[in-house]
Amino acid sequence: WILNLLQEVTVAKTFTLLCDPFHDLSAGYPRYGFQPNYLSNPADLTYGPTETPAATIIPEGVPSSASSSSFHPDSDAPLKPNTFGSHLTKELAGCWQYCNINGPFPPNMVRAGIDTDGDVIYVGRAFHEGDMIPAKVIPTKNLAFVCYGGEEFLMEDFEVLRYGAFVWEFATAGSVPVTAVRIGATADGEPLYMGRAIHNGSQTPGKVQPSHGCCYIPFDGEEVSKPDYEVLCVR
């Protein structure tokens, strides 16, 4: 029982270090977010639940997504790699799977943040007004949002990112690390990246648009601009 107790204490301390976006990990690091070298257990702390969900069923005639890298869960169709990050291997870049807000949601979704009430937010993307936009997905609420043109939009159909070897890196003023994963693009072809920032007590993901010099996050009906943020990158 002593060994079990020590294991529980270790897990609790690890969770505090890695999952609390407000935890001060070191004086020299940005005031929020994960330190990449602290992500020692990504299987537990970077990804979502691993239990096998019920089979995903899409009504006949409903498109999976306009994305060329969409996954439509028909019979034995394989998961497709992230074509926006085509310079990356499938193992590194993860794969995308079609979802609907009515669920069910697949296992091993990549975690992006925490909502104000503690619900976990996951990495997604969706088409809106010709753009493929990084999305925040909240399975416990059956919600997915993107931001566009100053507003937050609820998306019924979207994709979620699964698997891969990822880490969050600090950036600012529209910059992205060289290992940043290209999540989508604007209708004009500008790459869009998945970013996240602290806002009103939440750690909320959104889109980094380099030409705008910021990360936009969808929050409370609005598109909120953040000059400092973290970017989803390949480990």
∠ CA 198-147-22, nearest 5°, is 10
- The whole-number pLDDT of residue 162 equals 87
pLDDT at 178: 92
| DSSP per position, the chain | -HHHHHHHHHHHHHHHHHH-TT----TTS-SSS--GGG---HHHHTB---SPPPPP---TT----S-TT-----TTPPPEE-GGGTTS-HHHH-EEEEEETT----SSBBEEEE-TTS-EEEEEEEEETTEEEEEEEEGGGTEEEEEETTEEEE-SEEEEEES--EEEEEEETT---TTB-EEEE-TT--EEEEEEEEETTEEEEEEEEGGGTEEEEEETTEEEEESEEEEEEE-
Greatest mean pLDDT range, 22-26, 81-85, 91-95, 205-209? 205-209
pLDDT of residue 93: 60
Q: Pull the structure tokens for residue 182.
A: 């290209």
Q: Does 193 have pLDDT greater than 50?
A: yes
Q: What is the mean pLDDT of residues 65-72?
A: 26
pLDDT digits (tens, 9 = 90+) for 21-30: 333 333 333 3
Q: What is the pTM of this model?
A: 0.64
- For residue 4, what pLDDT is reported? 53
Q: What is the model's pLDDT at position 165? A: 82
Q: What is the model's pLDDT at position 92? A: 54
The confidence score (pLDDT) of residue 139 equals 94
Write down the pLDDT at residue 107. Answer: 84
Task: Summarize pLDDT for 136-172 with one digit per residue, the tens.
Answer: 999 999 999 999 999 999 999 999 998 778 889 999 9
**Confidence at residue 28, expressed as pLDDT on a 0 to 100 scale:** 35
**Residue 103: its pLDDT value, please?**
82
Specify the amino acid at residue 208: V
CA dist 231 and 228 (Å) reads: 10
pLDDT one-digit tens code per residue, 38-54: 222 333 333 333 333 33
The mean predicted confidence, pLDDT, of the chain is 69
**Cβ-contact 167, 114 below 8 angstroms:** no
Please tell me the predicted confidence (pLDDT) of residue 174.
92
- Report the percent of the chain where pLDDT is more than 70: 60
Tokens (6 digits) for 19: 């999952």
